[in-house]
Structure 1
Amino acid sequence: MRDKLIILLVALLVMSGDLYAQKLIKGEVVVKNTIQPLENALVMVLNKKDSLIIQYCRTDQNGSFLINVQDSGEYILSVSYPRFQGVHKTLKVSDRISDKINITLDRLENIIDEVVINKDILRIKLNGDTTEYTVAAMSLGKNDKVGSLLQKLHGITVSDDGTVMVKNKVVSKIYIDGQEYFSYDPRIIVRNVRADAVKKVQVYDEETELTKSTRINDGKKIQVANIILKEEAKKSVFGNVAANYGSKGRYGLALFGGLFNNSRKIGINTSISSLASNEIFVVPKIIGNPETRNYALTYNDELKKNLHFNNEISVNENRNETTTDNLEKQFLENDFRSNFSSSKNQSGNRMLRLNSRLTGNLGNDLELDFKLKSTAGHHLYHSSRYAVSTKEDSSIINSQNDTSNVNSRSYSFNPFFQIKFNISKEKRRYLLMVLNSGNVYTNAIDTKRNLTYFSKNTDTVVLDNQSVNKNTAHNLFSFLTYGTGIDKYSNLSLSYSVNIDSKNESFLFRDTDPGTNIPNDPSYNYRSTSKSEGLSMSYSLNKGKVQTSLSGYVLASKLKLHALSGDNYNLKKDFLSGNFSLLTRYQLSERSQISSQYKYNLIIPTIFQMTAFRPIINPVTIYIGNINLESSKNHFFNGNYGYFNSFRNITIGSQVEFSMTTNPVISKLDIDEQGKTYYSNVNDHDMALKQFNANLNFSKGLLKNSVIIGPAINYSFSSFSEILNNTLAKNKISNFSIGGTLTKQNRKTFDFTLRFNFGIDAVINDNVKSKFQNRLMYVTSSFTIDTKLYLGKGFQISQRSSLEQFGKDVYSDKLLKQKYTNVQITKELNKQNMTISIKAYDIFSSYNNVIQKFSPNRFLQYNEGFISQYFLLGLKWDFNKKI
């Protein structure tokens, strides 16, 4: 009996201990302004970090509830009941039993603005620089692709051509389960991989290829996205076939197919087209008369555990015929010159690309990364051009007629080998060795004929020649890096690198006309070598809410150049370049963080800027090198603040960027009375070029989160210097805009996306010596609305209407506007999993293709020939099968 009592006592103690280990949350729910208890109300405890449900229960007949949670900390307590306003409050749970919580719910008829908890909560998790979206319960169409899914995620936009942007930065790479898939064009994933196969989307900053391979931090980051698939989607065959044919000879055929079998991923992508795009939510112009053929195959497999192989091969063929009209105004001290040119161009390109990669572990302490990139290309180009230069009084300065025929072949071979020895995984010590070789070969034959007439002395210069340009470049880059953990939270790496560049180039000028008037033989043959040695250091700290990285490198370069041209030319220069970067990120809470980055770069001039070796192909365009150029210094600062609340469907983002370049290398132009322009570069010791950009954006879900509103404010400023006829001029361009989006995308009867923007642009030239200047201030505005109407039985009508005011024609003083309307009617054949469509682009023939550009002493306005107002008949078949 005694033994039984002891066992019972021990059991009671264990039970009480378990109960004590549980943290109790108790409370009562009543109707507001009454003492009436609310029975059967839903009470949920959510993880504050990612809004996941921890526990839930219903209130009893007295309105009381009792919930146990395992750990102390902060939670969200959510209470809801039909036709009552829900309550969500932050709750701190300690080790002791919590005090009783009193909750009052108000009836919806007493609430002016209805707030309803959306059952399809998008869960967002923030971890350092990674934002992770769990997308299991989103409203998607049957055959929607990844692009449609990304458009619904907070802070992500997908442009008309499939480009993905996060926080105004382009996503450079998109992975599938952490592996590359059609790496040369991430838009293939956006347009073709099925949205219903996606489990999670991760967006984060990734180091550049240079930093990842060398551990020498170049201070740059690229934006990437990782698509994590559902388990059932990892064994499937999917794809689509599309065909379009329409007016003006437009057509398009495309096939995409993917086979996923766990770690093995095979993809094929091919297209034959004379279109810019077959989507109606794009600008309705086709530049020139293009024809493209693309064939690509990717194979990704795990050869054995922790050893991955990826291979991509693609063939791209492009042909086009284009026409371009250019109108340029050059601002001189007492005059301005108008340069008009009209050109017709024919081009043909064929490129073969091969990318292979083998990466993984060759044992417990050895990691391998081998990459091979190779290309072979053939380029054909023909152009004919007429140009005339006039004074302010319209009198002619010179005129030109020229033709050019180019036949060029190029090859490249770039192997990369990296091996990493893990000396001690516990202490995070490793030794990294890399060899990277680059080899490029180019052979181009250019046959030109140029006839230039100078009105001042009635001279006519005839260039009738053939040039043979051969170019060979070799690069060998090697480095050794030692890395180690300092303590539990920080790491340090040190690197030594050697970089050797050699280049041979020959330009043989064969004059075929005795009337050619060239002062010196432009033929040349030169060899340049550059050897650089560098030391770098990188330190990182990751401790709780704080992440910091500090890195820098110093590079000493010796440049040697020997040339045989009109006279022997030798150049020896020593340069010192470097980089310093400091990045800090602080997690304010589970939903918000701030980050800042400072970078300093010492930028050395290029050989192209220092040497005068240029083929003379135009008597009015002469390039002059400057061997006395010095390095420039660049300071860059970036600050970011981000906040999101997936439970309330709110995101806030802000960014400030500032860049200043001192002692910059700027263009120097000298224009004589015959209209000849001499181009060179100089350092501006007294000028600092500045750029500034600041933006603030906000998004909020309305009406059960079926409508998303996203206002944004942006201000930008940039300066650019140039010297014209020994007079320094500086352009200052400012823009202030207010805009935003209003989006409804739940596929119920009617969806729409409204984009609007209103701004003020100012272009100011401070060249006070010239009475003809760019001093423009004008209002810009844009309004675009995309709509989709679901009519039932698989019918859908989509349209885009756009109106934009983007500048002023400085010649006619008329406002420049652009407007167009595209319409599409589709019918889904569900049994066959097909879609048929009729698409009409620019139905009112109102599109305007004028483009403007500004520089300190020049204004350029040009117009490319394009095709618009056409229609297409389309057929698309989507297939999806589980293996």
Structure 2
Amino acid sequence: MYSSTLVVIRKALPLLCCLFAISGAGAQNLSIRGRIVDSKDQAALIGSNVLLIHLPDSVRQGTAADASGGFSFPGLTPGRYVLAVSFLGYTTLRRTLELRSQPLNLGAVGLQTGGAVALKGVEVVGRAAAAVQKGDTAQYDARAFKTNPDANAQDLITKMPGVVVTDGKVQAQGEQVQRILVDGKEFFGSDPDAVLKNLPAEAIDKVQVYDRRSDQSQFTGFNDGNTEKTINITTKPSFRNGQFGRILAGYGPDNPSSNGKYRVSGNLNSFKGRRRLSIVAQSNNVNEQNFGTDDLLGVIGTSAQGGGGNRGAGGPGRPGGGGRPGQQGGGQAGNFLVNQSSGISTTHAIGLNYADTWGKKTDVQSSYFFNLSDNTTQSTTNRLYNVLTRGRTLGYDENSQATARNINHRFNLRLEHKLDTVNSILWQPRFTLQRNTSTSALNGRTFLSGISDVPATTQSLNNSTYNSAQHGLTLANQLLYRHRFAKRARTFSLGLNTTYNDREADNFLLAQNYSPDTTATDQYSRLDQIGWNWNANATYTEPLSLKSQLQLNYTLSYAPNDSDKRTFDQLTGPRTPNDSLSNVFRSNYLTNSGGLTYRYQFGKVEWAVGAAVQHARLDNDQTFPRALTTQRTFLNVLPTATLQYRVSAQQNLRFNYQMRTQNPSISQLQEVVNNSNQLQIRTGNPNLAQEHSHNLFLRYSSSQPETSRSFFALLGGSYTDNYIANSTVVVREPTSIGGVLVPAGGQITRPINLNRQYSLRSFVNYTLPLKVIRSNLNLNANATYSQTPGIVNAGLNYSRSPNVGLGAVLSSNISPELDFTLSSNSSQTYARNTLLSQNNSRYFRQNTALRLNWILIKGITLQSDVNHVAYRGLTAGFDQSFVLWNASLGKKLFAKQQGEIKLYAFDLLAQNNSIGRTITDAYTEDVRTNILQRYFMVMFTYNLRNFGGGAGPADMPRDNNRPDGPGRPGRGPGGGS
């Protein structure tokens, strides 16, 4: 009996060893996960501190709850653990857990409000950590940055490391912020300016800066590289139930330098739990503008006024493409934003924002904006081409006056509905309706620059008046269906995105040219453009193990666009069709793309590699004035790669590479002459091919909470083949194109594909506290280098623009009564050309600013803003050094000092100025524009504050459908992205 038992044990021992080995190997990959929520309303508690303690050896590991309240501890072994969860204003929770052979999902872990325990006889005074790095999210504590009681969100975040606000555009860590959220939800759509101006600083608890992934990426857990630089503002619990707002009214009488000035604005916010309703309104004639990207037509197309050519900074390496409202600029919406430093505007605007949770399954966020803007612009332009004629440089001068009225309606909705625990739908419609009317008059001159004792010689003159009335309609829908299978991390999603654009324009041109003969033009043109974009995509993810995941996707996209331009001469008698300046054109762009991506994550390292095969076909069909058909096909392999290394809890390193393609727009393809300025002729090119760009970024961030120091570094670049550049011909003798006579010195521009366009940029930011003066010092440095190809008079030219910059910001942290910010930024830019090195130049720009808010005794307030701007190296007569000084003296009113009356002065020294330089492959130009100058105003302000107090946290973003990914916490504010 005994011997037989030994035989059984001896035979079973190898099998038992194998089973224990397998069990032990699998046990090393166990995990504990869950969500931290408010026990009453189940709202996610972003940033909760979650600590896991192993018993009996007390080995600890911690994390912070992400945007959905989620947390995860991967790579655990079986045994007993203690889970400890804490959050400001809540009672700390401790729970003993038993981890056996299966991963443990705790679901919703609720915290009870309270937890503020008074310690008798003990007072702990400490400095709030200014910055904390949580994964790849930089989190700033508002308590560490002191501002005046009347400060808004913009006043607060500009004190934070690496955050800069200029003309309503926010930059963080060297990149433009595309979205600002409030408690994880959109606030007035994607308009950062509306959030920063209408949210009081005293309501803010934390500010988080991170790269927000797309909704698709958040659901699947895959980092596909499609991110938006995002700021999430979390509010204090006491401000989440009640009403707050502000009204302002001011008037200034006529004076020798300005007409009467006025400013009226107000905002009212009502927060109750998950429901948030906000109203903002303003009317003024002092250049206070409140526009988002969609607030200007942005698709003026080939019939737009072309007097200014391609203006604007564009992106790195691009020659720009902005311009004044009503002018040609490449067809991109961002190029036509009203710039507060360009011209003078009167603005009337109203906006509504609504967010709520309907029942337990539906989250809704919506906003509506109405804008009416009247703009008057006067500008002087000096341009030097990279062209020599008889040993002299060809130049162009222009004086112009323009008025524009823009009326815009914009509506956005985001509705997310959970069908059940595994299925959800996300719907995001967008509607924009716009009307733009503009009138411009310009006097242009081409000339040969002076040399030695030879003065500049005029070649041709152009005087023209241009009137335009345009209508724009945009309808867009994004629909995303998501399904989660029973197996963890196995998902399927199906998306459909549609966009419809309808543009109409009526244009009138009256011009006279002298070269040396006089020619006259009197024309009317009509432009009708209709475009669709259909995009369907399917994505499937499959977990291969607890550490790895596979994603398959397929995308089908179809974009048909029609453009019909008709031009009529009306110089003598009735209108006569001008076939040379008319064109009927259709473009169809069809793409099929299938891709595969592998993702692996273990411990501190996460990486993913993948590739997509894309087949594209571009069909162009011109039916008038002559039939012309072109067809091109493209086959590309588009690789992607990402790497994220969490060096420690406070250090993070990220790498991202992606290859993309970009098809030409219908305005670039349509071969029709735009003669609105006969010294600046533009036309399209139906033979354009798609661009191929490689984009690479490396980011490193670090923070030391105990010393309130933080560091951020970025290195990035792009390289583009088939870059859609410009072929520019500057004619030396009068030349005819499309029936239009271009005088000597006139410019003809046509898009063309060229290679070897690239740009590099770097940014470094370091922040540290100066305890001696109780202030924060923010140091930054940046460098960029771009190469842009172009054809100038049949010669290949590479325009290279190195740029280096240094900056420092000193912001006070003394007390709420004394708030100042001292900053200085300097940059040196070089213009280098391979075709004509004689035109190489460099220019220097420095901006030093002091902002002071001081509450004196007995409620007396003093505010002062002083800006010194200096330019060196511009065209003769454009170099400037001026000081813009604004100041006010006020008195607080009422028992709680909620009101204030003050005397405000703008531009006390009457030196305000506006100058800009643009460098392209064909020319370098300087532009001076009229700008608002000295005025005085009496202003009254009243702050409304009505809060219930003691309210629990309001609704935070909840996304039960988003997986945490194999063995890691989810992504979003507070948890990385």
Is the pair's TM-score, using the shorter chain for normalization, greater than 0.5? yes
CA separation of 1:868/1:378 partners in 2, compared to 1, >3 Å: closer, same or farther? same
Aligned match of 1:265: 276
Q: Count residues with an aligned counterpart.
A: 767
**Aligned twin of 1:166:** 172
Shift of the alpha carbon at 1:705?
7.6
Please tell me whether the aligned partners of residues 217 and 551 of structure 1 are also in contact (alpha carbons under 8 angstroms). no
Q: Which deviates the most, 871-880 or 803-812?
A: 803-812
Q: Which has the larger radius of gyration?
A: 1
TM-score in terms of structure 2 length = 0.73
Aligned-pair distance for 1:302?
A: 0.7
Distance 1:607 1:230 in 2: 49
Of 62, 71, 76, the match for 2:58 = 71
Contact 2:146 2:819 (C-alpha < 8 Å) held by counterparts: no
The reply on whether 1:391 has 2:456 as its aligned counterpart is no
Q: Which amino acid aligns with 1:523?
A: S
Distance of 1:450 and 1:74 partners within structure 2: 75
Cα-Cα RMSD: 3.2
Report how far residue 208 of structure 1 moved: 4.6
Structure 1 residue 591 displacement after superposition: 1.9
Instruction: Please state how far the C-alpha of 1:253 moved relative to its aligned partner.
Output: 0.8
CA distance in 1, matches of 2:905, 2:197: 21
Higher RCO, Cα 8 Å, sep 6+: 2
Match in the other structure for 1:92: none
Is 1:352 the counterpart of 2:431 in the alignment?
no
Secondary structure at the residue paired with 1:159?
A: strand
Q: Which amino acid aligns with 1:250?
A: K
TM-score, normalised by the number of residues in structure 1:
0.81
**Equivalent position SS for 1:290:** strand
Match of 1:337 among 380, 385, 394: 394
> Equivalent residue for 2:532?
474
Task: Select which of 469, 474, 482 maps to 1:407.
Answer: 469
In structure 2, what is the Cα distance between the partners aligned to 1:629 and 1:416?
29
Q: Deviations over 1:69-101 (max 9, x none)?
A: 9933599xxxxxxxxxxxxxxxxxxx9xxxxxx
- 1:321 equivalenced with 2:376 (yes/no): yes
2:700 is aligned with 1:641: yes
Choose from 511, 520, 542 the match for 1:484. Answer: 542
1:631 offset after TM fit, Å?
4.4
Is the Cα contact below 8 Å between 1:462 and 1:517 reproduced in 2? no
For the 8 Å contact 1:850–1:861, the answer to whether it is kept is: yes
- How big is the shift at 1:318? 0.9
Q: Give deviations 1:749-795, integer Å, cap 9, x for gaps.
A: 64432212445433222224x7xx33224554332222333322121
Deviation at 1:380, TM superposition (A): 1.1
Q: Do 2:220 and 2:489's aligned partners in 1 also have CA atoms closer than 8 Å?
A: no
The answer as to 2:602 corresponding to 1:543 is: yes
Report the counterpart of residue 253 of structure 1 in structure 2: 264
Contact 1:585-1:593 at 8 Å conserved across structures: yes
Give the structure 1 partner of residue 793 of structure 2.
725
AA of the residue aligned to 1:505:
S
What is residue 308 of structure 1 aligned with on the other side? 363
Once the 2 structures are TM-superposed, how far is the Cα of residue 218 of structure 1 from its aligned partner? 6.7
The aligned residue for residue 741 of structure 1 is: 809
1:147, 1:158 within 8 Å by CA — same for their partners in 2? no
Query: What is the distance in 2 between the residues matched to 1:570 and 1:229?
Result: 58
**CA deviation digits over 1:219-261, x for unaligned, max 9?**
3421112222233322111111111212432111111011111
Counterpart-to-counterpart distance in 2, 1:548 and 1:269: 44
- Residue 332 of structure 1 aligns to a residue whose secondary structure is strand
- Tell me which amino acid in the other structure corresponds to 1:740: A
Q: Is the 8 A contact 1:217 1:552 kept in 2?
A: no
What is the one-letter code of the residue matched to 1:501? Answer: A
Question: Which segments of 5 or more consecutive residues in structure 1 lack a partner in the other structure?
Answer: 1-49, 55-67, 76-94, 96-116
Q: Counterparts of 2:713 and 2:569 in 1: how far apart (Å)?
A: 60
For 2:194 and 2:633, locate their aligned partners in 1 and report how far apart those are by CA, in whole Å.
45
Cα distance, 1:119–1:276 mapped onto 2, change above 3 Å: same
Q: What is the letter of the counterpart of residue 400 of structure 1?
A: N
Cα deviation, residue 136, structure 1: 5.3
Equivalence for 2:182: 176
The SS at the match of 1:867 is coil
Report the CA distance shift for 1:871/1:70 in structure 2 as closer, same or farther (over 3 A). Answer: farther
1:121 aligns with 2:185: no
Checking the alignment, whether the CA contact within 8 Å between 1:594 and 1:639 is kept in structure 2 is: yes
1:836 aligns to 2:923 (yes or no) = no
Distance 1:390 1:643 in 2: 55
Distance 1:217 1:342, change over 3 A: farther
Secondary structure of the structure 1 residue equivalent to 2:885: strand
Give 1:506's aligned residue: 564
User: Contact 1:620 / 1:677 at 8 angstroms: preserved in 2?
Assistant: yes
Q: State the alpha-carbon separation in 2 of the partners of residues 613 and 260 from structure 1.
A: 54
Looking at secondary structure, tell me which structure has more strand per residue. Answer: 1
Shift of 1:53: 13
What is the CA–CA distance in structure 2 between the aligned matches of 1:124 and 1:846, rounded to whole Å?
39
Shift of 1:659: 2.7
State the partner residue of 2:889: 825
Q: Distance in 2 between matches of 1:73 and 1:450?
A: 79
> How many angstroms apart in 1 are the aligned matches of 2:839 and 2:764?
30
Aligned: 1:580 with 2:639: yes
Q: Deviations over 1:617-663 (max 9, x none)?
A: 34444434444444444333322222211211111222222333345
What amino acid is aligned across from residue 369 of structure 2 in structure 1?
S
Alignment correspondent of 1:131: 138
Q: Distance in 2 between matches of 1:160 and 1:134?
A: 23
Residue 128 of structure 1 contacts residue 547 of structure 1 at CA under 8 Å; is this kept in 2? Answer: no
Residues 874 and 209 (structure 1), Cα distance of their counterparts in 2 relative to 1, 3 Å cut: farther
What's the CA shift for 1:868? 0.7
Q: Percent identity?
A: 19
User: Which residue number in structure 1 is paired with residue 933 of structure 2?
Assistant: 868
Counterpart in the other structure of 2:19: none
Partners of 2:222 and 2:599 within 8 A in 1: no
Higher mean alpha-carbon deviation, 776-785 vs 432-441, is at: 776-785
Query: CA–CA distance in 2 between the matches of 1:517 and 1:346?
Result: 29
CA distance in 2, matches of 1:675, 1:412: 39
Matched-pair contact (CA < 8 Å) for 1:383–1:404? yes
Contact 1:507/1:615 (8 A) holds in 2 = no
Residue segments in structure 2 that go unaligned for 5+ positions in a row: 1-46, 63-79, 81-123, 254-258, 291-338, 450-454, 733-743, 949-977
Partner of 1:452: 513
Q: Is the 8 A contact 1:140 1:746 kept in 2?
A: no
| 3-state SS of paired residue (2:648) | coil
1:287 positional shift: 4.3
Secondary structure at the counterpart of residue 187 of structure 1:
helix
Give distance in 2, aligned partners of 1:749 and 1:791.
Answer: 8
Aligned match for 2:830, one of 749, 758, 762: 762
Q: 1:368 deviation in Å? A: 0.9
Distance change >3 Å, CA 477–CA 160, structure 1 → 2: closer
SS at match of 2:863: strand
Deviations 1:776-832 (A, max 9, x none): 2455433222233332212122222222323323335x8432322221222222525
Q: 1:122 to 1:51 in 2, by over 3 A?
A: farther
Instruction: Give the match for residue 316 of structure 2.
Output: none
Over 3 Å counting, the alpha-carbon distance change for 1:704 and 1:872 in structure 2 is: same
Task: Name the CA distance, whole Å, in 2 between partners of 1:257 and 1:361.
Answer: 31
CA positional deviation for 1:204: 1.3
Q: Distance in 2 between matches of 1:694 and 1:192?
A: 33
Does the 8 Å contact 1:461/1:619 carry over to 2? no
SS of the equivalent of 2:156 reads: helix
Q: CA 1:738 to 1:480, structure 2 compared with 1: closer, same or farther past 3 Å?
A: closer
Cα distance in 1, alignment partners of residues 222 and 504 from structure 2: 34
> Within 5 Å, which residues of 2 pair with 1:206-221?
206-208=212-214, 219-221=225-227
Do 1:122 and 1:138's aligned partners in 2 also have CA atoms closer than 8 Å?
Answer: no
Cα shift at 1:679 = 1.5
Query: Which 10-residue stretch deviates more, 364-373 or 814-823?
Result: 814-823
Relative distance call for 1:433 and 1:597 in structure 2 (3 A) is closer
Secondary structure class of the residue paired with 2:856 = strand
Partner Cα separation in structure 1 for residue 474 and residue 341 of structure 2:
31
Instruction: Tell me which residue corresponds to 2:497.
Output: 436
1:451-503 deviation per Cα after TM superposition (whole angstroms, max 9, x unaligned): 22221xx2x33221211211111222212221222322333321222212222
- Give the secondary structure class of the aligned counterpart of 1:793: helix
Residue of structure 1 equivalent to 2:752: 682
User: Displacement of 1:293 after TM fit?
Assistant: 0.9
Equivalent residue number for residue 626 of structure 2: 567
SS of 1:797 mapped into structure 2: strand
